[in-house]
Chain A
Amino acid sequence: MIIAVASGKGGTGKTTVSVNLARTVGSHVQLLDCDVEEPNAHLFLRCAETAGDIVTIPIPEVDESLCNGCGECGRFCRYHAIVSFGSTPLVFPELCHGCGGCALVCPRGAIREAGRRIGVVETMETDGITLIQGRLDICVAMAPPLIRAVKARVSNATTTILDAPPGTSCPVITTLRGSDFVVLVTEPTPFGLHDLRLAVDMVRELAIPFGVVVNRMGVGDDRVHRFCREQGIPILLEIPDDRRIAEAYSRGELLVDALPEYGSHFATLLWNIREFRNGGGK
């Protein structure tokens, strides 16, 4: 089963929920850190790093001796990563999504593809948890291909938890697509509710069953709860605004290890998610 942990708003506790959920599953669990612009799940899991795999995307290289400047490549590319002003085209590698379309439409066969490094995928092991994280290179803006490379390591034999990037844009869609259940983490504040609404719209569009975890219960107001009630969205877990949680977090400790009384909360969350699936997604 693939469980994705996402949120509209950043800093609501996606990683906290992800790593504690992974520890609660116990063994035969994969944790995929898909927040490739700033992977941080490793901070909470003491693991020795194994070798990383370099990830590249194909970008066009133009053979000037074959190009006649017809401009077909530039007219095809919707990202303006290759443009022709009546001469040999210019390539802007950082805008290229690596689709290969320019090479396909070139009537002269003047375009071949070369790999451009965008980041690495690193695999680590700790206490029954396999942590796989993507790390995007500095100055690279193209997260989805790296996220797909991370997700290519999903094993069908284990429970897989995906720690998604914040927001509702392409990197998040790339992470969520193909998962069996989405946990949306929010906080009970107007800002939390605003971005929760966006995230709910996104997950409904993707047609994936989902529920909400409310973190930092006790701050803010009850509007998130009213919204969930009106929309018929299950609240799977409430995590209180407990200073001890912040202290454990700041030491890089897992909540379920540092404060064992929260172990049953996460066990309930996991049970709720699995139950949801077994119940046919009611």
Chain B
Amino acid sequence: MKVAFTTSGNTLDAPMDPRFGRAEGFIVYDTDSETFEAVDNKQVLNSAHGAGIQATEAILRKGANCVVTGHCGPNAFKALSGAGIRIYTTEAATVSEALEAYRAGALPTMKSADVEGHWS
């Protein structure tokens, strides 16, 4: 299972980024091999529209099966759901804390977008 965490860093100690589409980057953690990969999201960060969709494409390319983040807009939710990626929410401060909570099965799944799109 590959889990994508939204983060502003590239280590497990790095702080979580509560945004999905406009997260600075992702850590894609492989629970089978206990390894991870940092993915940069800066290009998406600078695009005017469609950040949630492009971020979905980015983590999908890395083979993520689910994502752990803070919030999710309507387009991101539609894209992630369409791609079959499960969305977990957390208020954990760091990636490792969020990973801990994910392993403990303590994270709620998101059933609908919880923030507005950026142009409305």
C-alpha spacing A81/B79, complex, angstroms: 11
- Which residues of B are in contact with A by a Cβ distance under 8 Å? 49-50, 53-54, 56-57, 60, 75, 78-79, 82-84, 117, 119-120
Indicate whether A83 reaches chain B with its CB closer than 8 angstroms.
Answer: yes
Of A87, A92, A139, A141, which one neighbours B53 at CB under 8 angstroms? A92
A244 to chain B, nearest CB (A): 39
9 interchain pairs, CB-CB under 8 A: A79-B49, A80-B54, A80-B57, A92-B50, A92-B53, A92-B78, A95-B53, A95-B75, A139-B120
Hey, what's the 0/1 contact readout for A77-92 against B, CB within 8 Å counting as 1? 0011101010100101
- Which residues of A are in contact with B by a Cβ distance under 8 Å? 79-81, 83, 85, 87, 90, 92, 94-95, 139, 141
Of A83, A94, A141, which one neighbours B79 at CB under 8 angstroms? A83
- How many residue pairs, one in A and one in B, have C-beta atoms under 8 Å apart? 36
Which B residues are in CB contact (< 8 Å) with A80? 49-50, 53-54, 57
Of A81, A85, A139, which one neighbours B50 at CB under 8 angstroms? A81
Q: Is the interface of B mostly helix, strand, loop or mixed?
A: helix
C-alpha spacing A95/B117, complex, angstroms: 12
C-alpha spacing A94/B48, complex, angstroms: 13
Q: Is the CB of B49 within 8 A of A95?
A: yes
Q: Is the CB of A85 within 8 A of B83?
A: yes
Q: Is the CB of B53 within 8 A of A83?
A: yes
Which A residues are in CB contact (< 8 Å) with B79? 83, 90
C-alpha spacing A7/B29, complex, angstroms: 50
B54 to chain A, nearest CB (A): 6
A94 to chain B, nearest CB (A): 8
B74 to chain A, nearest CB (A): 9
Closest 5 pairs (CB-CB, A-B): A80-B50, A85-B83, A80-B53, A90-B82, A141-B119
Which partner residue on chain A sits nearest B85 by CB separation? Answer: A85
Which partner residue on chain A sits nearest B118 by CB separation? Answer: A141
Besides the contacts A83-B53, A87-B82, what 5 more A-B pairs have beta carbons closer than 8 Å?
Answer: A80-B54, A83-B56, A83-B79, A85-B83, A94-B117
Q: Is the CB of A83 within 8 A of B119?
A: no
Q: Is the CB of B120 within 8 A of A85?
A: no
